[in-house]
Amino acid sequence: MDTIFALATANGKAGVAVVRVSGPDAFSAAEALAGDIPAPRRAALRKLRDPSGAVLDEALVLCFASGASFTGEPVVEFHLHGSVAILRSVLRVLADLPGFRMADPGEFTRRALDHDRLDLTQVEALADLIEAETESQRVLAMTVFSGALGRMVEDWRAELIAAASLLEVTIDFADEEVPVDVSDDVRAGLLRVRADLDRQLSGMSAAERIRSGFEVAIVGRPNVGKSSLLNALAGRDAAITSEHAGTTRDVIEVRMEIAGLPVTLLDTAGLREAEDPVERLGIARARDRADTADLRVFLLAEGDEPELEVRPGDLIRQSKADLSGDPQAISSLTGQGIEQLLTDLGTTLSERVQRSSLATRERHRVAFLEGRDCLDAALRLLDLGPERYDVASEEVRVAIRRLEALIGRVDVENLLDHIFASFCLGK
């Protein structure tokens, strides 16, 4: 296996830049540049030199022995001053060393997977952790990256292996009298795993919203103050406001964080009967986005009723409190009620993610569904008696393989290139 290297920090000028080297000859990179190999896991200050002896930089050099590094291989990190010229010189020296090459995107993490330092769910969580923009995204990604989903799958796997083993004992002694009926124990084990799968599947929608974000649509009649409310919530002029009705013709989106959750606010066209074909198109889009939004804020003028059916969790507010004097209304001009609206939005959305799943991706959902289907088949076969235990056992083993694929044990080679393509070079 080649020894690979790459810049592990962002490109461009910075206070510090880290170059990571991993592979069988990683320690020779420390010798070539720093003159010796610092003790593992003890950062040492060294002058880095090129083959001619010219000093390139004074840097911290940190070595990790095989089995004690992120990739599981010998690893050396050079913590350099973040000069573009220094980086270029150090990378050039590394590229000239025999058996060294620039890492491909995600190759460090792929080697961690190959050396069993991470399972496939942790690899995906690492990508999510790097992309996390909100506290809830960080917490969810960190939980999965710590191995929580992998441990859950391992527990299921152990339970199913025990169930399959009980069935196979019965099969092995089919011509003899088996002293114990194992069907109740097997059924109990299968039902426990199936219930866990159901809980994870039911929480996937919330987990996916944490990962990708909620959509909150502001809806109401024209000139009721929707764009002004969007600007007030976003804290900037994201939408054009005017006293003329029908100013908003398309859906305006603003990404923000509410209660630690990623939220996209949608300012939609005013809902009314319109003759202008462009406005009619905007109103149609407004209705479509409002229908698919996770939550709607209905903004009403005094005496108005919601134009759409109010769903559980939707919020209703009367607008322009600065004109009406209503203490329960909101005003984008004075700020009255805005903080409370944000609090109510945060509370409502937080309640929806309290029972979120650890699984966030489509392939997780498919693996759970396929595993559950196999368990359902096994439970039906179990009810038909010992003569069908052999088929029931095979259904349990198929369920095990579906769950093993989730953490990367089997049948995932076709997924790896796609997963690692999203990683940067230094990961």
Does the annotation place 47 within a ligand binding site?
no
- Whether 244 has a pLDDT exceeding 50, the answer reads no
Q: What is the CATH number of the domain that holds 395?
A: 1.20.120.430
Least confident of 118-122, 253-257, 344-348: 253-257
23 and 67 assigned to the same domain: yes
Q: Are residues 190 and 233 in the same domain?
A: no
| Residue the block writes with tokens 């114990």 | 180
Q: Residue 193: pLDDT above 50? A: yes
Q: Is the pLDDT of residue 108 over 80?
A: yes
Q: Are both 228 and 103 inside the same structural domain?
A: no
pLDDT at 277: 62
| pLDDT (0 to 100) of residue 138 | 92
CATH number of domain containing 109: 3.30.1360.120
- Position of tokens 């919330």? 206
Residue type for position 324: S
226 annotated ligand-binding residue: yes
Q: Is the Cβ–Cβ distance between 289 and 217 less than 8 Å? A: yes
pLDDT in the model for residue 99: 93
Among 212-226, 232-246, 357-371, 402-416, which stretch is predicted with the lowest mean pLDDT? 232-246
Where b means 16+ CB within 10 Å and e means fewer, 315-335 reads: bebbbbbeeeebeebbbbeee
Sheet holding 214-219, edge to edge: 252-258, 261-267, 214-219, 295-300, 315-318
Residue 86's pLDDT is 95
* Residue 320 is labelled as binding a ligand: no
Task: Give the separation between CA 380 and CA 363, rounded to whole angstroms.
Answer: 26
Averaged over 163-187, what is the pLDDT?
Answer: 71
In this structure, the answer to whether residues 345 and 379 fall within a common structural domain is no
Q: What is the pLDDT of residues 75-107, one digit of tens each?
A: 999 999 999 999 999 999 999 999 999 999 889
Q: What is the largest CA-CA distance in the chain?
A: 89
The per-residue pLDDT for 66 is 92
Average pLDDT for the chain: 84
Q: Which of 115, 147, 176 corresponds to the end of one domain?
A: 115
Q: Evaluate if residue 179 carries a pLDDT over 50.
A: no
pLDDT > 90 in the chain, percent: 43
Q: Tell whether 24 and 8 lie within a shared domain.
A: yes
In a domain, 337, yes or no: yes
Query: Does 317 share its domain with 187?
Result: no
Is 248 marked as binding a ligand?
yes
390 annotated to a ligand binding site: no
The whole-number average pLDDT for the span 163-186 is: 70
Pairing verdict, β 261-267 and 295-300: unpaired
Question: Do residue 147 and residue 179 come from a single domain?
Answer: yes
Query: 301: domain CATH number?
Result: 3.40.50.300
Is residue 124 in some structural domain? no
Q: Within 10 A of 123 (CB to CB), how many other CB atoms are there?
A: 23
CB 29 within 8 A of CB 37: no
Residue 427 in marked binding region: yes
Round to whole Å and give the CA distance between 306 and 96.
Answer: 69
Residue pair 240/227 in contact (Cβ under 8 Å)? The answer is yes
Give the residue among 338, 329, 332 at the shortest CA–CA distance from 225. 332
Is 404 marked as a binding-site residue?
A: no
Q: Is 52 annotated as a binding residue?
A: no
Span 133-156, pLDDT tens digits: 889 999 999 999 999 999 999 999
Confidence at 249, pLDDT banded by 50, 70, 90: very low
pLDDT exceeds 80 at position 353: yes
For residue 20, say whether it is annotated as part of any ligand binding site.
yes
What are the residues whose beta carbons fall under 8 Å from the beta carbon of 127, sequence distance 6 or more? Answer: 419, 422, 423
Strands 252-258, 315-318: parallel, antiparallel or unpaired by DSSP? unpaired
Bigger pLDDT: 196 or 386? 196
pLDDT class for 270, splitting at 50, 70, 90?
Answer: low
Q: What does the alpha-carbon distance between residue 232 and residue 281 come to, in Å, rounded to a whole number?
A: 26
Residue 270 annotated as lining a ligand binding site? yes
Does one domain contain both 17 and 104?
yes
> Domain range holding 323?
215-354
Instruction: Check the annotation: does 117 bind a ligand.
Output: yes
**What is the C-alpha to C-alpha distance for residues 130 and 112, in angstroms, rounded to an integer?**
16
DSSP state of 387: G
Least confident of 57-66, 80-89, 143-152, 285-294: 285-294
pTM of the full structure: 0.77
Residues 228 and 290 both lie in one domain: yes
pLDDT at 243 over 80: no
Contact assessment for residue 28 and residue 97, using Cβ atoms and an 8 Å cutoff? yes
In a domain, 191, yes or no: yes
Instruction: Please tell me whether 223 is known to bind a ligand.
Output: yes
- Over residues 62-68, the mean pLDDT reads 93
Does 157 map to a domain?
Answer: yes
Residue 311 forms part of a structural domain: yes
Amino acid at 180: V
> What is the per-residue pLDDT across 14-37, written as a single tens digit (0 to 9) for each?
899 999 999 999 999 999 999 989
Residue 78 lies in a domain: yes
Inter-residue contact 142 to 151 (CB < 8 Å): no
Q: Are residues 350 and 243 in the same domain?
A: yes
| 264 found inside a domain | yes
Q: Is 228 one of the annotated binding-site residues? A: yes
What is the phi/psi pair of residue 47, to 5°? -85, 125
Is 332 marked within a binding site? no
Per the structure, the count of domains in the chain is 3
* 424 occurs within a structural domain: no
Q: How many CB atoms lie within 10 A of CB 313?
A: 13
Q: Is 77 annotated as a binding residue?
A: yes
The tokens for 326 are 């209503």
Residue 241 binned pLDDT confidence (cut-offs 50, 70, 90):
very low
Do residue 341 and residue 219 come from a single domain? yes
How much of the chain, in percent, has pLDDT values that exceed 70?
85
- Is residue 227 part of an annotated ligand binding site? yes
* Closest CA relative to residue 228, chosen from 99, 330, 365, 110: 330
Residue 239 marked in a binding site: no
* Same domain for 340 and 219: yes
